[in-house]
Structure 1
């Protein structure tokens, strides 16, 4: 790491600006206090530093403004719409950019919501029993939801009460009545001829409510590449009680033993 000796009584706010540190003064404060002796720690970024104070500064270029982006590959852990290859092959493809880009597909175990309701029911896939998003065991929870999957769990008053059915005693129960298929499915991915839903898909109820996706259900999982690409100093600041370099060595050792 680098050090900076204060010569004119400035604070960390000004120092971070002068050094153009990514993360700003708050990050510089955390970094300095992590590596400094207790009596030399700084309380706030606005505190004027005495002349001669030694400040611990993160190494360049890792924390320089506009650092080179690092690509982390997690496509194997989640299913979503990725146009990277298309953009490389077709420089002008931005004109054909889909609103589904970067959105996740929806699985059966997750939830939807109605802007006129109160509860969040779960999907019930009835259009097929064939395709699962990211589950090699074929668990029903991971069935892909398609435009024709209109049934919900629970089936009776799935959204609880309906704001469009007020009475003097409160709102009446939801009367779920879908107006046709789901709208805005991703038409380039189909299961048995039925387009799959993504986070932006929606469905209208004949009562007047608009039903959208509350949670798509897929969860990212850290892979070995994610751990190896992590920055040691950043991880040490996040969890100062963990020796991250030792942790990396242990992960590599366990991985090597797994394949031997």
Structure 2
């Protein structure tokens, strides 16, 4: 099974019938978090993110399924249902966790046409201090430079 990532507040989604992406807003709860050092900004998205206010701009641009002569009507996002959520966990709001493989159904298309571009999580490195244990650091990352390696003396190692 391939890796899946939990969707969080700010995940970018797109509609196959729209012009551009929009960012997901988590409105179904305010207490389940994922990822990032400042997790308060990263609420977990669930299958309960339904209705018309689930995205920041609430539009994917022009909807190719709604022609108006020489143009198209603007998209007004309404999520009816989510497919492809993580079924093994149910959060306190009754929702299942959405993943980067999840898709949403809109009433105009009637099929799962809204997909995930980016899950919204980000990796953060730690701040390195001067009290690092160089021996441990070299064991974890043998390619890192230590004070010994910075000296002009080069040691050769013979493998037998």
Using structure 2 for the length normalisation, give the TM-score: 0.71
Aligned residues: 136
Q: Decide which of 12, 15, 24 is 1:123's aligned counterpart.
A: 24
The answer on 1:186 being equivalent to 2:70 is: no
Aligned to 1:173: 74
Q: Take 2:137 and 2:75, find their aligned partners in 1: how far apart are those partners?
A: 45
The 3-state SS of whatever aligns with 1:153 is coil
The 3-state SS of whatever aligns with 2:82 is coil
Aligned to 1:212: 115
RMSD: 2.9
CA contact (8 A) 1:184 1:201 kept: yes
CA shift, 1:204, in A, is: 1.2
Aligned to 2:131: none
Aligned to 1:93: none
Aligned to 1:201: 102
CA shift, 1:137, in A, is: 4.1
Structure 1 residues 206 and 213 mapped into 2: Cα distance closer, same or farther (>3 Å)? same
Structure 1 residues 245 and 226 mapped into 2: Cα distance closer, same or farther (>3 Å)? closer
Q: Decide which of 44, 51, 56 is 1:153's aligned counterpart.
A: 56
Unaligned runs of 5+ in 2: 129-135, 151-160
CA contact (8 A) 2:37 2:124 kept: no
Instruction: Indicate the structure whose relative CO is greater, using CA pairs within 8 Å and at least 6 residues apart.
Output: 2
Per-residue displacement from partner, 1:113-151 (whole Å, max 9, x unpaired)?
A: 1000012111111111011102454423x0000001131
CA shift, 1:231, in A, is: 5.2
Structure 1 residues 247 and 228 mapped into 2: Cα distance closer, same or farther (>3 Å)? farther
Bigger share in helix? 1
The 3-state SS of whatever aligns with 2:145 is helix
Unaligned runs of 5+ in 1: 1-98, 233-243, 251-260
Bigger share in strand? 2
Q: Take 1:135 and 1:105, find their aligned partners in 2: how far apart are those partners?
A: 12
The 3-state SS of whatever aligns with 2:83 is coil
CA shift, 1:247, in A, is: 7.8
Q: Decide which of 35, 40, 48 is 1:139's aligned counterpart.
A: 40
The 3-state SS of whatever aligns with 1:139 is helix
CA contact (8 A) 1:105 1:199 kept: yes
